[in-house]
Amino acid sequence: MSSGGHHAHPPKQPDIEDGPYSWHMALTDAVADLLLAKGVITGEELRRTLETIDAATPARGARLVARAWCDPAFRTRLLEDVNAAAAELGIDAGAIPILAVENTPELHNVIVCTLCSCYPRYLLGAAPDWYKSRAYRSRVVREPRAVLAEFGLELPDHVRIEVHDSTAELRYMVLPLRPPGSEGLAEEALAALVTRDCLIGTAVPRVPAES
């Protein structure tokens, strides 16, 4: 299993925003108040950051994948530096480095955060509930093939599965294989084949006949 370093995670946020005011929520508010009081950020900067995060969707990551499928030079740059490659398309991927891991006919990549729910929200939008669940976080490391099968993804025995553990210092996204029969499609149509789960590694892109 790959790891981007030690898990110096920020406090885990509650899954239900309308729930009780928890210790984690109080700590988050206290840190934000401190940053504002010290002049590290302004209220306007904080507002813009929250709006950017809230507006993010998996379509951003899908655009990167589609461009990489069509442009070998961009694919190389994406694998070297996701954040910089995203900026080329006018996409703000955030300040935390993101590493793209490429699927091949012999290798399939899956993303997890084993200690909480570190996730490239700027690029993929909000993490799904199952990604944050204890069952997924523990089982995908121990039995990834079985977990993927439960998602409906049956991989051939010869395909090796590698699990990548996201941290507060490094996030991951999967660069999936281009599906057969998609050779004549334009970038926009290719992006429509890529779902959020493809970018996490619990699914593969739809073939055009099924899209």
* Residues marked as catalytic: 113, 116-118
Q: What is the DSSP letter of 104?
A: B
State how far the Cα of 199 lies from the Cα of 6, in Å rounded to an integer. 23
State how far the Cα of 76 lies from the Cα of 64, in Å rounded to an integer. 12
Q: Does the CA dihedral 36-40-44-47 come out positive or negative? A: negative
State how far the Cα of 197 lies from the Cα of 136, in Å rounded to an integer. 13
State how far the Cα of 58 lies from the Cα of 202, in Å rounded to an integer. 14
State how far the Cα of 65 lies from the Cα of 61, in Å rounded to an integer. 6
167 is written with which tokens?
A: 């941290």
- Alpha carbon 7 to chain centroid, angstroms: 17
User: What are the residues whose beta carbons fall under 8 Å from the beta carbon of 211, sequence distance 6 or more?
Assistant: 189, 192, 193
